[in-house]
């Protein structure tokens, strides 16, 4: 028979004195657990270049231990910058080039004093796994001929940083005229990588760090660093949207523990610029 105390003594439970007595008995008997107070975890929305995906996803649980929950929106730096321009709720912007950070700065949308040039990267030519071919990354090499009619995947050179760098390198090497009608422009560098993984393109130009994220491609050439502008990843707080937690996140991204993760993923940590003379 299941009979509750409330059904037997309904009026008694309406008494405040009885309620205090009942709760004290439960606490004394250990029947009522009071959870310990927890430190608050703050959420920060980060808009970041797609090439940072692996490193930042690895950092999510590490930052959670520091009471910062990093929410990621990944894509082309150009698309993310445009979204921020139109009011997207980003608190931190982590770009794959300086130009899109400068674009937002020109609109007064980033906290300039918070901006740090944090990471570097390099460009490689990749082919589908097992279908590599010889490429000499030097002027005079017939790269178009080496593609044998296949297409070349890269980020859209009209706005995607990886594609902008790739076009600069192709022009410097003298390869651009031979391949520009064979291009497969992609929305971001990871999409270009996927074209090659799936065998839709004979080759692609991606960041060196992207190769570690794929078991379906192989490197056939490393493009000369002098053939394109330095690949620099700046990170900054978004003006008007940034919280104290976002500034804590920026500090965590620049801390040695995060640097270990970035380096493991193939990025180069850049030395902070010396302060300008007053």
Closest CA to 154 of 207, 107, 113: 207
Residue 222 contacts residue 124 (beta carbons within 8 Å): yes
**pTM, whole model, 2 decimals?**
0.81
- Distance from C-alpha of 272 to C-alpha of 108, rounded to nearest angstrom: 23
> DSSP string of 170-202?
HHHHT-HHHHGGGEEEESSHHHHHHHHHTTSSS
What does the angle CA 59 – CA 62 – CA 64 come to, to the nearest 5 degrees? 110
Same fold, 42-119+233-269 and 123-222: yes
HEC string of 74-134 equals: EECHHHHHHHHHCCCCCCEEECCCHHHHHHHHHCCCECHHHCEEEEEECEEEEEECCCCCC
Torsion region of 90: left, alpha or beta (phi above 0 gives left; psi -120 to 50 gives alpha): beta
Task: Report pLDDT for 12.
Answer: 42
Count Cβ atoms below 10 Å from residue 159 Cβ, excluding itself.
Answer: 18
The percent of the chain in helix, strand and coil, each rounded to the nearest 5, is: 40, 20, 35
Residue-level pLDDT at 278:
44
Helix (H) / strand (E) element for 7: namely: helix 5-8
CATH architecture for segment(s) 123-222 = 3-Layer(aba) Sandwich (3.40)
CATH assignment, 42-119+233-269: 3.40.190.10
Domain boundaries, the chain: 42-119+233-269, 123-222
Start-to-end CA distance of the chain, whole Å, equals 84
User: What's the pLDDT at 23?
Assistant: 39
| Contact by Cβ (8 Å): 218, 134 | no
Which of 55, 123, 43 shows the shortest CA–CA distance to 94?
55
What is the pLDDT tens value at each position of the chain, 278 positions in all?
343 333 333 444 344 444 444 334 434 444 444 444 445 779 999 999 999 999 999 999 999 999 999 999 999 999 999 999 999 999 999 999 999 999 999 999 999 999 999 999 999 999 999 999 999 999 999 999 999 999 999 999 999 999 999 999 999 999 999 999 999 999 999 999 999 999 999 999 999 999 988 999 999 999 999 999 999 999 999 998 778 999 999 999 999 999 999 999 999 999 765 544 44
Sorted by sequence, the CB contacts under 8 Å of residue 100 that are 6+ apart come out as 77, 78, 80, 81, 161
């Amino acid at each position: 028979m299941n009979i509750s105390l409330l059904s037997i003594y309904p009026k008694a439970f309406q008494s405040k004195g009885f309620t205090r007595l009942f709760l004290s008995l439960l606490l004394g008997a250990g029947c009522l657990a009071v959870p310990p107070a927890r430190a608050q975890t703050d959420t920060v929305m980060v808009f970041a270049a797609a090439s940072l995906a692996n490193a930042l996803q690895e950092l999510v649980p590490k930052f959670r231990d520091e009471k910062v929950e990093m929410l990621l929106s990944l894509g082309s730096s150009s698309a993310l910058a445009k979204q921020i321009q139109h009011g997207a709720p980003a608190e931190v912007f982590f770009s794959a080039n300086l130009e899109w950070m400068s674009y937002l700065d020109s609109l007064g949308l980033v906290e300039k004093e918070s901006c740090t040039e944090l990471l570097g990267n390099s460009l490689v030519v990749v082919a589908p796994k097992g279908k590599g071919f010889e490429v000499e990354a030097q002027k005079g090499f017939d790269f178009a001929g080496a593609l044998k009619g296949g297409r070349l995947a890269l980020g859209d050179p009209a706005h995607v940083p990886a594609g902008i760098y790739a076009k600069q390198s192709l022009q410097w090497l003298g390869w651009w005229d031979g391949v520009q009608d064979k291009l497969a422009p992609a929305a971001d560098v990871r999409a270009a990588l996927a074209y090659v993984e799936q065998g839709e393109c004979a080759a692609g130009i991606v960041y060196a760090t992207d190769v570690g994220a794929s078991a379906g491609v192989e490197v056939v050439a490393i493009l000369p660093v002098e053939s394109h502008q330095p690949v620099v990843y700046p990170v900054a707080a978004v003006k008007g949207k940034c919280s104290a937690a976002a500034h804590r996140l920026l500090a965590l991204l620049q801390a040695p523990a995060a640097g270990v993760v970035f380096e493991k993923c193939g990025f180069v940590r850049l030395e902070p610029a010396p302060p300008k003379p007053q």
